[in-house]
Chain A
Amino acid sequence: MFKKLSLSLLLACGVSAQADEVNIYSAREENLIKPILDLYAERTGTTINLVTGGADELTQRLELEGANTPADLLLTVDVGRLYRAKEAGLLQSVDSEVLNSVIPAKYRDSEGEWFGISLRSRVVIYDRQAVSASDLSTYADLADPKWAGKICVRSSSNIYNQSLVASMISHNGVETTEAWAEGFVANFGRPPQGGDRDQISAVAVGQCQLAISNTYYLAGMLQSADADERAAAASVAVFFPDQNGNGAHVNVSGAAVTKAAKNRDAAVKLIEFLVSEEAQAWYAETNNEYPVRADVPPSELLQSWGSFKADDIALDELGIHNADAVRLMDRAGWQ
């Protein structure tokens, strides 16, 4: 055991600068990213080293390790986190023709410090029997007293909710959003608890009529190994809000080259691979996320929900208003 310890010590010492190596800190869980990385490694002979973990914790580790960090690439979900990493000065600007041409400008950082590689929308899930789609319209409408006791949503500690509220602050300002949050909280059918799938289950059994969820959670439930979960998911439907206004809230999972990257070029090549048609199609199928490229279709399941108008907000805005959003939700009593 001690041999192994000293071995790993030695390994950590050797700052190797070989071009065919990429070290990744990933907030995407291993089973959602490793298969595609393995494919890339096999095809190009690149050695890929992976640590997964919470986005905030990995960012903290990156920051503390400073210029000596072994990490070349940071993979994470939610632009709020990418923004924080950028603000902390942990990322570097990348000017890649491939990335700039393939990824729409609104899904990458204007200074090239991070790139969206897949998309998800935060939507309203409704009970097919109790609610008709014509009753639904906007996020703002969810604060209307007609929904009193009918809405299920997870805790405001979750970044997806924080980013949603941050987008509303960006569109409408703090005061309007706070008034909305108060009305929204008053409509809760139960104290916030569990994850997005739990909100969908609660709608399926009738504890609530509406839930807020990311799209891939419902897709995951529809394809679950558990028959009960499939049945629950089948009893609800998706509604994309704000289709006549700003559009439905969209967020990214993204990749960024670290400031201290020792294998910069290899890291950029890997990002380019992640937005290749092949990798995008794999992503779409495996986790039911929307591809970031317009020329790769989403999974059949997602296509069956129809296309929708996405909010065009500059994603930076979600990061800028994050702390405001948390304070606002604290004040509104959103646990």
Chain B
Amino acid sequence: MDTHTNKAPTGALSSLQRWLPLHSGTWLILGLCLLLSVPVLTVFSSVTVSSDGVWAHLYDTVLGDYVLHSLSLMLGVGLIVLVLGIGPAWLVTMTRFPGSRVLEWALVLPLAMPAYIIAYTYTGLLDVGGPVQSWIRETFELRFGQYWFPPIRSLGGAITMLALVLYPYVYLLSRTAFIEQSVCVLEVSRTLGATPLQAFRRVAIPLARPAIIAGLSLVLMETLADYGTVQYFGVSVFTTGVFRTWFGLGSSTAAAQLSAVLLLFILLLVLAEHWSRQKARYHHTSSKYTRLPRIPLQGWKKWAALVYCLTPVLFGFLIPFLQLLQWSTQTWHLLDRDGFLGMFANSLKLAAMTALIALLLGLFISYTRRLRPGLALRGVVRVLGLGYAIPGTVVAIGVLIPFTWFDNTLDAWMRETFGIATGLLLSGTLVAVVFAYLVRFLPVALNTLDAGLGKIKPTMDDAGRSMGLKPLQILRRVHVPVMRGSLLTASLLVFVDVLKELPATLILRPFNFNTLAIRTYELANQERLAEASSTALMIVLAGIIPVIILNQTISRSRPGHDSTT
């Protein structure tokens, strides 16, 4: 592998570092990062407080289950997303088979499907009272218990549901990597006698490793943060434990400590990956790019490829989508149409606003880190990155604590000094909502932007510098045009994530403010799945459009390929 990577020339950026409009800019970014880390730090700060024997109780009773189930969930989801993500990504990029053009974008569609919605849908289909098992009973004249059917509401079910909607992260990122791989590397491997499969295994995968790992870590963090699915399936993992301890046992301290343990899982994973990669860097060594000829698959291989790539689309999107559609036609007349458009607009507005802010913020953080890779910033960004692994409700409370503290302190001070009551300035406004979104989803944008920026050779910065450009000009005129694909990817991923987000919106929103996800949840929470389907369908439809744009962007992202045509 080492032969295909080269070490970054240390100090390549040193000449630039003097040029950053230093103190103000760097400090501003550092400050912003710290601010966004507050919810994560709030969770960690709980570790020092005693929790009155709640841990002893947890240790004696349920903690073993939490650990075992959370680890199994991560392992299971991790393995399945690798299989569903990498293989199809390589097949649609490098080969041609029936349907490959369509599958190329269809494989991204499950990204638009929130995990809790796919869980509701499959439960409706596959549970004991659902149509599938009813059909089995009627057709074969069996009673329940006389036949075997996998229980959907189980650890295995949760693993399947999460993997089906999360694999697109691995698919997207590894496909980007495959597309961007220099033709030379692959051609060399072919002249050395490697078959396409060998080239895949020994060249393409190792080279795509950072992208695959990035995708996998997003998946694992989302898995750990998931609450809706595991709670619905009755699987006791860390997130369900957090809420049970918090509300049931009435110990917010022990609950925060459980969340801190959850974060330690992630931190260990990140560090393990970091160590295993050591100092290898993955810049492209050659800038010779031409469109790769795709290998037409023959005989059984093309059908095998079709089945392989169709499976995730079928189960991750088509089946649940059709089920939602069917329920929705049954219950369409019950829909409150007036409120509906408002909710739709609110969902889109929040998603667009957050995506834009996350993009700008992520870009500046990423670029500052490239110019000044200091320990402080690296550390803060790492902490910030953990936000994605924290359950939305915990993030929301982590936002409420400092926001209400700020509001109430300011209010008290203003009353005392000027006799003016300012009340709650930030809490209960969309500012708090968007802030919580940033805490959770900025890591997604950062991951993508870091990868995009990292691929640009440091010599590009030097070239810009030699032409007398200032750092921000280099960013605007050199980097941004080159990494247009990454920029769009980052903002669209955040957009779709916000569209699906539920718990933080629910707790932090202002009065009389509804979104599609909230209405869906409220109906599903009353166990009215069929009535929840119309809004669920709208979330999916609103998510499909950005997902398809996302795909087009990536298809055209091969460097040297003019993306404007």
Contact = CB atoms under 8 A, between A and B. Distances in A.
Q: Of residues B425, B508, B512, B518, which shows the largest number of chain A Cβ atoms within 10 Å of its Cβ?
A: B512
Given A61-B400, A68-B408, A326-B249, A49 B512 contact: yes
A69 interface: yes
Q: Which residue among B233, B401, B404, B423 has the maximum number of chain A CB atoms within 10 Å of its CB?
A: B423
Contacts of A4: 349, 430
Interface in A20-76: 23, 29-32, 49-54, 56-58, 60-61, 64-70
A327 B129 contact: no
B421 A228 contact: no
Interface string A206-234: 11000000000100100011101000100
B506 A54 contact: yes
Interface string B161-197: 0000000000000000000000000000000000000
A323 B248 contact: yes
Contacts of A326: 244, 248-249
Contact of B526 (A12, A32, A323): A32
A197 interface: yes
B133 interface: yes
Contact of B57 (A5, A69, A192, A327): A327
A196 interface: yes
A205 B314 CA distance: 28
A198 B431 CA distance: 38
Contacts of B246: 56
Question: Among the interface residues B144, B429, B511, B531, which one has the most CB atoms of the partner chain A within 10 A?
Answer: B511
Contacts of A60: 397, 400, 507
A104 interface: no
Interface stretch (B328-336, B380-388, B543-551): B328-336
Contacts of A15: 421, 423
A57 B393 contact: yes
A65 B424 contact: yes
Given A57-B396, A193-B234, A225 B334 contact: yes
B511 A226 contact: no
Given A52-B522, A194-B234, A70 B428 contact: yes
Given A12-B424, A29-B522, A205-B133, A225 B408 contact: no
A232 to B, nearest CB: 6
A154 B153 CA distance: 12
Nearest to B352: A1
A205 B421 contact: no
A64 B527 contact: no
Interface string B362-396: 00000000000000000000000000000001001
Contacts of B527: 195-198, 217, 220
A154 B133 CA distance: 21
Interface residues of A, number: 66
B61 A331 contact: yes
Listed residue (B60, B128, B507) with the most chain A CB atoms within 10 angstroms of its CB: B128
Contacts of A67: 408
Interface in A162-209: 162, 190-198, 201-202, 204-207
B403 to A, nearest CB: 8
B424 A68 contact: yes
B337 to A, nearest CB: 13
A84 interface: yes
B349 A206 contact: no
9 contacts: A5-B430, A12-B425, A15-B421, A30-B514, A51-B511, A53-B507, A65-B400, A70-B424, A191-B154
Interface of A: 1, 4-5, 8-9, 11-13, 15, 23, 29-32, 49-54, 56-58, 60-61, 64-70, 84, 154-155, 157, 162, 190-198, 201-202, 204-207, 217, 220, 224-226, 228, 232, 322-323, 326-327, 330-331, 335
